[in-house]
Amino acid sequence: MKVLVAVKRVVDYNVKVRAKADGSDVDLNNVKMAINPFCEIAVEEAVRLKEAGTATEVIAVSVGDKSCQEQIRTALALGADRGIQVETEGGVEPLVVAKLLKGVVEKEQPQLIILGKQSIDGDNNQTGQMLGALAGMPQGTFASEVVIDGDKVNVTREVDGGLQTVALSLPAVVTTDLRLNEPRYASLPNIMKAKKKPLDVFSPADLGVEVTSHLTQVSVEPPAERQAGIKVEDVDQLLDKLKNEAKVIG
């Protein structure tokens, strides 16, 4: 079974992001970049399927400029067998990413496609669902457990009311939630081996996709700073503050 895993280059989750002075975008100068944490979970799940003998090949794919090859190489160091970069310039919205991934799916014919449920930059939670719709494949989103059962994959999903398990016919699309697994660290020997693993580069034209923008980013601004809290002397003062200042009780 061939597994395709999508990885995205984002600002490292430990970094405090800042908006540019003109509010046009996020300031990425000298900022540490990394694999999106949910994508890292997707890579780990694919590698575990291979280690269990269920998957035969794991392919890591990323959409972006040449810099995203760093994240593909990280996925290769974590255990993926080969990488694919779809080369684009600038930011690409989820619908275009889904179309490009569909082109890769048609080229590679994987039985399972695993994506992070969302990226920590755009936070859109759209690409996996759009890919499933465009490719005509069943999808299991917010996965906390993935079990291959013959020609089906059983996906336990995290929903508002608890857990829901769906059985999907392969090929299928799965998006990962935080509790699916805990990603491993890449060892130095595997990092060195990753440099020699194959990495193919395709253009959108190679996949028959025209990159067009349907969204315009108007501005980026930091959230308003929270005001400092206060201490109250007793319950009566607390109730007075909640009623007359916060106005959260009647």
Q: What is the DSSP letter of 176?
A: E
This prediction has a pTM of 0.87
Q: Dump pLDDT digits (tens) for 127-139.
A: 999 999 999 999 9
Nearest CA among 149, 97, 87, 120 for reference residue 12: 120
Q: Are 101 and 131 in contact (CB under 8 A)?
A: yes
pLDDT score for 32: 94
pLDDT score for 75: 97
CA distance 75 to 82: 9
pLDDT score for 247: 83
pLDDT score for 214: 87
pLDDT score for 175: 97
Q: Name the token pair of 45.
A: 């799940």
Q: Name the token pair of 64.
A: 């972006």
Q: Are 128 and 117 in contact (CB under 8 A)?
A: yes
pLDDT score for 217: 87
Average pLDDT, the chain: 94
Q: Within a 13 Å sphere around the CA of 13, how many CA atoms are in the beta-carbon half?
A: 10
CA distance 182 to 40: 9
Q: pLDDT class for 90, splitting at 50, 70, 90?
A: confident
Residue 249 has pLDDT above 90, yes or no: no
For residues 160-171, give the mean pLDDT. Answer: 94
∠ CA 97-27-185, nearest 5°, is: 65
Q: Pairing mode, if any, of strands 33-35 and 9-11?
A: antiparallel
Instruction: List the beta bridge partners of residue 157.
Output: 143, 164
CA distance 3 to 201: 18
Q: pLDDT class for 35, splitting at 50, 70, 90?
A: very high
Q: What is the DSSP letter of 221?
A: -
Q: Dump pLDDT digits (tens) for 173-229.
A: 999 999 999 999 999 999 999 999 999 999 999 999 999 888 888 999 888 888 888
For residues 117-125, give the mean pLDDT. Answer: 93
Instruction: List the beta bridge partners of residue 176.
Output: 116, 143
Q: Percentage of residues in the chain with pLDDT exceeding 70?
A: 100
pLDDT score for 216: 87
Domains belonging to the chain, first-starting first, are 2-225 (3.40.50.620)
CA distance 182 to 176: 11
Residue 152 has pLDDT above 90, yes or no: yes
pLDDT score for 161: 86
pLDDT score for 91: 81
